């Protein structure tokens, strides 16, 4: 990714500019990993990173005008039907808006992995679940499996005497004195229900989304998920598990945990 090398997939497959030499033609393996690579030279500049992303995602051109059938995706669009397993690691400037134009073209895609891309955070999970359903073949809406590790913020740097500088909040670089854990669970509840309805596993210990949660501020992830998904769980029991850091999962301790607005449970 850093050097912008995509196995010559950026070259058109047909037309006057298409290479005739078979060794100069692009190729795509069933499993494709796109990730920055290290090299001895100085780190790639922002301009270089944007250029690499452009080569990955730019449109195929026909003469002086862009192909009307191509909305985005040079390296990807040229060979979109060949992708079966695509893994995107730490790609600078990659967004869900780009993915919404790329992924639906991959009609044979079975596995999509997105790992620690800086501009794709946990709040984008719902949109990702929608993207992998877009333009799927009839009765195969759930054919794409999503493995997602949202952008994870390490830190902040520990400051003596500052209780909010200890540990990693994950979803943000700082929590600004908010209850990060409670806010995160509010979002995760919606994500897990939607993922289950699409047959996507984001909960098992081997999944990257679960590992992201385990690294973050949440406590007792497995037990809390089980409580949330149990239709017999009362709101008080769920609230006690979500606030485990303060309640230890006990309902009777809820009234000791004031809400941000000053009211009590």
The pLDDT tens digits of the residues spanning 140-196 come to: 655 789 999 999 888 766 777 776 666 667 787 766 667 778 888 889 999 999 999
Q: In the prediction, which pLDDT does 43 show?
A: 66
Q: In the prediction, which pLDDT does 96 show?
A: 94
Closest by alpha carbon to 227, among 212, 209, 207, 247?
A: 247
Higher pLDDT: 70 or 31? It is 31
Q: In the prediction, which pLDDT does 262 show?
A: 55
Helix orientation angle between 180-197 and 221-229, rounded to the nearest 10 degrees: 60
Confidence of residue 102 (pLDDT cuts 50, 70, 90): confident
Distance CA 233, CA 137 (A): 37
Helix orientation angle between 180-197 and 235-242, rounded to the nearest 10 degrees: 120
Range of lowest pLDDT (80-84, 173-177, 249-253): 173-177
Residue 219's alpha-carbon distances to 79, 121, 180, 224, in angstroms, are 43, 20, 12, 8
Domain ranges of the chain: 1-151, 156-265
Distance CA 125, CA 209 (A): 10
Give the range with max mean pLDDT: 73-77, 115-119, 250-254. 115-119
């Amino acid at each position: 990714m850093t050097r912008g090398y995509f196995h010559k997939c950026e070259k058109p497959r047909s037309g006057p500019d298409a290479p005739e030499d078979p060794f100069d033609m692009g190729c795509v393996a069933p499993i494709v990993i796109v990730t920055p690579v290290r090299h001895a030279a100085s780190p790639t500049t922002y301009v270089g990173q944007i250029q690499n992303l452009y080569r990955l995602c730019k449109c195929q051109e026909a003469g002086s005008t862009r192909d009307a059938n191509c909305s985005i995706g040079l390296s990807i669009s040229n060979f979109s039907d060949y992708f079966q397993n695509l893994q995107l690691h730490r790609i600078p400037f990659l967004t869900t808006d780009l993915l919404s134009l790329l992924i639906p073209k991959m009609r044979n895609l079975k596995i999509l992995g997105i790992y620690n891309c800086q501009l794709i955070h946990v709040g984008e999970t719902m949109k990702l679940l929608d993207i992998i359903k877009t333009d799927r073949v009839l009765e195969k809406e759930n054919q794409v499996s999503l493995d997602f590790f949202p952008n994870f913020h390490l830190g902040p740097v520990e400051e003596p005497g500052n209780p909010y500088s200890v540990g990693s909040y994950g979803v943000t670089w700082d929590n600004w004195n908010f209850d990060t854990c409670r806010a995160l669970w509010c979002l995760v509840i919606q994500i897990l229900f939607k993922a289950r309805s699409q047959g996507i596993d984001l909960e098992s210990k081997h999944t990257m989304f679960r590992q992201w949660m385990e690294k973050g501020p949440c406590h007792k992830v497995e037990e809390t998920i089980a409580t949330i998904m149990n239709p017999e769980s009362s709101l008080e029991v769920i609230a006690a598990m979500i606030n485990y850091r303060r309640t230890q999962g006990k309902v009777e301790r809820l009234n000791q945990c004031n809400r941000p607005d000053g009211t009590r449970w």
